Amino acid sequence: MKDRIIQIIQKEGLSNAEFAERIGVSVSSLSHIFNGRNNPSLDLVMRIHKACPYVNLNWLLYGEGQMEDKKPTGSAPDLFSQFSEEPKMAEKVAPVTAESRIESVIQPEIRYIEKPQPKITEIRIFFDNGTYEIFKPEK
């Protein structure tokens, strides 16, 4: 996957530091991935996709298909496009099942949800004599 990340950086025309800043990770995190010390996390993959929505997730995750997603961002999948084409003859064709049709039509939807930072409501300190103290921040 690191080779595919490097391709994205080159396509964007950014340095590693600029790309790390764009996706919101430290330069050292990116460096650890490039050096093979760490594997990319799902969070990193989603940050890359959020910063570069044209990137095909199947290509980024598995190396399958093309780097750029051919569909415009935000467009709904066309459920009937596969049925409007002329039938093509093939020598050895796998049987078409309802499951295979459904899998070829369904597109995953990715939503980015911003969550507010949690706030400390109280801190409890327990002592070895069985007592404790409660600290609450002023509001």
Looking up tokens 């750029």 gives 68
CB-based contact 56:65 (threshold 8 Å): yes
Grouping H, G, I as helix, E, B as strand and the rest as coil, residue 61 is helix
Whether pTM > 0.85 for this model: the answer is no
Which amino acid appears at position 127 of this protein?
F
Each residue's pLDDT expressed in tens, for the chain with a length of 139 residues: 788 888 899 998 988 889 999 999 998 888 888 888 888 888 888 999 899 988 888 888 888 888 887 654 444 455 444 444 555 555 555 566 656 555 556 666 777 778 888 888 899 999 999 999 999 988 6
